[in-house]
Amino acid sequence: MAHYPHHYIDGAWCAPSGPGQRELVDPATEEMFATVANGGTAEDVDRAVRAARRASESLAHTSVDARAEMIDAIVTAYEARVDEFAELIAREIGAPVSARAQVTGPIGHMKVARDLLTSYRFETRMGDTIIRREPVGVCALISPWNWPIQTPVIKFIYALAAGCPSIMKGSDASPLSGIFLAEVIEKAGLPAGVFNLILGRGRVVGEAMSAHPEVDLVSFTGSTGAGIKVGEAAARTVKRTVLELGGKSANIVLRDADLEAAARWNIGRCFFNTGQSCHAPSRMLVHESQIESVLPILADEAAKFHLGDPRDPATTMGPVVNSAQFDSVQDYIQKGLDEGARLVCGGPGRPQGVNRGYFVQPTVFSDVTPEMTIAREEIFGPVLAVMPYRSEAEALEIANDSIFGLGGYVFAGDTKRGYEFASGLKAGRICFNGAATNSLTPMGGYKQSGVGRSMGVFGLEEYLEIKSIYGFAEDAAQLPELMR
C-alpha cells in the first residue's frame, strides 16, 4: 500500500501543515490501493505563493530560448514515464490503457507551446508605440480528474511559456496524477518555485488559491458550480480568471448527412472516456423522419464497447471515476425513464455479469424532449439523449437552448449549408462531419461554459499582460532589438 504524504513547494517535497489523509479506491475493483495526504491548508498555499513570487522575477526575464529548453527537458522526463502514467490513470480514474490520448496528448501540447515560442512576438510596434506582452505573474492552476494529466499540463506549460510560475492543485479524485507530474518537473530540473503542488480539499486549498492577494491569475477547469465559487473568490482581489466549465453539447445531423456515419461517430465521441468529457456530444438532434432509422445504428455501435479491467489492452470502456459519480449517473438514467424517455439500449444498474466496480451500461434514450432533465443537465457518463427536430430553425433553437456553450457538432452533406448552421451555434468549438480538433486552436466556451481560452496563441495570451509604451520613433537607434 503506497502512501504519498507530501506537497511539492519551492523545489522540495514537504509535509502539509494540517493532518489527514485520503484513501484512494480503484474504481474497477472498489479496493483501496494508496493513500495520499489531505491536510493542505491556507498556510501551505501561502508558502507556495511566496515561493512562486520569489521565482517570478527571474523567470519573467528568462529568454524565450531558455523557456523552450525547460519545456524540452519536461518532455524528455515525461516521455520516459508514459507507460507508468497510463497504468496510473487506469487505477486512479478507470481510464483504459488503450485510451493512449490521455497520456500521449500532453506531449503534443507541450511541443506546440515550445514551438510557439520560436515565432511569437512579445514586442511589436504601432507607429511610435511599443506594445509589450509581459508575464501576468503568479498563477493558481486548478485541474479536474477526467483528464488528470493533460489538463494540468496544458495549464502549466502555457504559464511557463509566458514566463509565469505556478501553484497547482489537482482534483481530490486524481491526486496521484499531480504528484507524478511534479516528479517529472523535478526531474527536468526547473528552478525552485516555478512549479508548486498542493494536496488537499478543494473547499480549503482551492478557495485559498483563488482568494490569495499575491496570485495574479487563477485558471480553473471543472463544473460550472465550482467555477462560480472560484470566480467569486478571485473577484475579491480583482485577478484574472480563466474558467473552462460544464457542457451539454449538441450534435445536429442535417437531413442530407450520412446518417450512419454521424450515428457511429456520435457514440464513439460521446462515450469516449466513459462519457466523462465536458465536450461530449450528449445530445443528438435528428430529423423526426430519420429517428427510427438511426436508433438501431446507435444501439449497434454502443454494443461494440468492451467493458472491463482498464489495465487490459482489450478494454475500450472502463468504470466511471468513483461511487459518487456512479450514483449520479444512475440517478440521471432513472430520471430519463421517469420523465418518459424511451430506452433504446443500456439502462440502470451494472452491465450483466458485473458485480463490482463502478461500471455503467452504455445507454441511449430516444423521444427526449428539451425540457427533460437528461436534455438539460450535464450527466458526465455514457448516456446519449436523441432528440427529434422538424426544421433546421427548430434544431438550431433546441441546440442553443442551454446554459452551456462549450462544444457543438454538425453533420451535413452540403458543406456550405453545414458551415452556415455551425456559424449559428452559440458554442466555442464546433466540429463539422466529425473533424478532429487540434492543439494549435483555442478551446473555451460561451455562456456558463466558461471565460477565456486555452491552447495555442490564444492560450498563451491568457497568461500575458499588455503594456503600451509611447513615444519611441521607429528609427530610435538606442533601443535594443525588439524581443521575439
By annotation, the residues acting in catalysis are 244, 278
Q: What are the backbone angles phi and psi of residue 65, rounded to the nearest 5°?
A: -65, -40
Cell of 109: 501540447
Beta partners for residue 141, in sequence order: 168, 219
DSSP string, 350-374: SPTT--SS-----EEEES--TTSHH
Cell of 333: 438514467
Task: Let me know if 126 is exposed, middle or buried by CB neighbors in 10 A (0-12, 13-18, 19+).
Answer: exposed
- The H-assigned helical ranges of 401-455 are 415-424
Contact between 78 and 105 under an 8 Å Cβ cutoff? The reply is no
For the chain, give the longest Cα–Cα distance.
Answer: 78
How far is CA 109 from its chain centroid?
13
Helix H or strand E segment including 250: strand 250-253
Give the whole-angstrom CA distance, residue 146 versus residue 418. Answer: 31
Give the whole-angstrom CA distance, residue 188 versus residue 200. Answer: 25
Cell of 178: 499531480
Give the whole-angstrom CA distance, residue 185 versus residue 75. Answer: 9
DSSP string, 154-186: HHHHHHHHHT--EEEE--TT-HHHHHHHHHHHH
Rg of the chain (C-alpha set):
23
Contacts of 19 (CB under 8 A, 6+ apart): 39
Give the whole-angstrom CA distance, residue 332 versus residue 341. Answer: 11
The CA–CA distances, whole Å, from 92 to 74, 198, 226, 273, 325 equal 23, 18, 22, 13, 14
